[in-house]
Amino acid sequence: MKFLATVCIVSAVVVSAASATEPTPSKIVYEGKEYELWQSPMVPFFDTHPDKEPKSEIWSTGRGQSYIAVYQIETNHLVLKDITVDAWKDGGPDTEEKSVKDAVTPGGKDMIVTNYSGILILRDGEIIRHDDFSRWRAYALYSNYILIEIKKGRVTEIRSYNHKQFEAFKDRQFHAYKGTAAYLDDVRKFTSKDDTEEEIDALLRKGFLNSTSEFLDKEEKIPNIDRVRTAP
């Protein structure tokens, strides 16, 4: 069976979980608290504007890609607050994070990430357990989660789960995902004709949330959610 290790580092980057160094996540501020963000909302923007994608001056095994982004949820929108790259400090040998926001956004101003639609996963609390094949935090199960559904840069729904509720949500979401064109596309891209359905499902569950751009379980009864809020 083909091996897929998908981790979204700041901007939906595929990296290998066999890497010795854990990649550096992005950051997102929500309700005054900063969280690690292992997803990459800026990728669609850079796909459209490849000339604006920052390039780091220094190659590092700890970077899943060349930049680190800082986001904030403001007035029900996903806003890019800063974007940095590793750079030599005063010509080296020391390094520093250098903001390159001026080269990315008009006038270096904050920018609503209108190119992005998806579900942001904010991890909170303690690590309950690590994944069987990786010790990276991106794959670990945390005690609490905040899920923020974004459509074209605008917050459309927010959910809060404990770890058991999050696992139940993933089961519901995966069941619905299997009925979508995205599932069929991922099967074609990431599996072989010799894989069984059980092997395919086990493989795709690792990163399927990155292929679902919205909550798919809205028509089902959703038990024991700490909070569900639909943004105005």
Q: pLDDT tens for residues 126-146? A: 999 887 666 778 778 999 999
What pTM was estimated for this model as a whole? 0.82
Q: Does 209 fall in a domain?
A: no
Mean pLDDT of the chain: 83
pLDDT in the model for residue 230? 63
pLDDT confidence of residue 226: 60
| Residue 188 domain-assigned (yes or no) | no
- DSSP conformation class of 24: P
Cα(24)–Cα(76) distance, integer angstroms: 26
Residue 80 structural domain: 1-162+220-232
186 within a domain of the structure (yes/no): no
In a domain, 45, yes or no: yes
Which residues have a Cβ under 8 Å from the Cβ of 104 and sit 6 or more positions away? 52, 54, 80, 83, 111
Residue 70 gets the label, from left (phi > 0), alpha (psi -120 to 50) or beta, of: beta
Residue 73 within a domain = yes
Distance CA 209, CA 163 (A): 16
- Check if the beta carbon of residue 131 is closer than 8 Å to that of residue 139: yes
Does residue 119 sit within a domain?
yes
Give the residue among 25, 145, 150 at the shortest CA–CA distance from 79. 150
- What's the rounded Cα separation, in Å, for the pair 200 and 204? 6
Render pLDDT for 54-108 as a digit per residue (tens, 0 to 9). 987 766 544 556 899 999 999 999 999 999 998 877 777 777 889 999 999 999 9
Domain count along the chain: 1
pLDDT at position 12 is 35
The verdict on residue 153 lying in a domain is: yes
71 lies in a domain? yes
- The pLDDT score that the predictor gives to residue 102 is 96
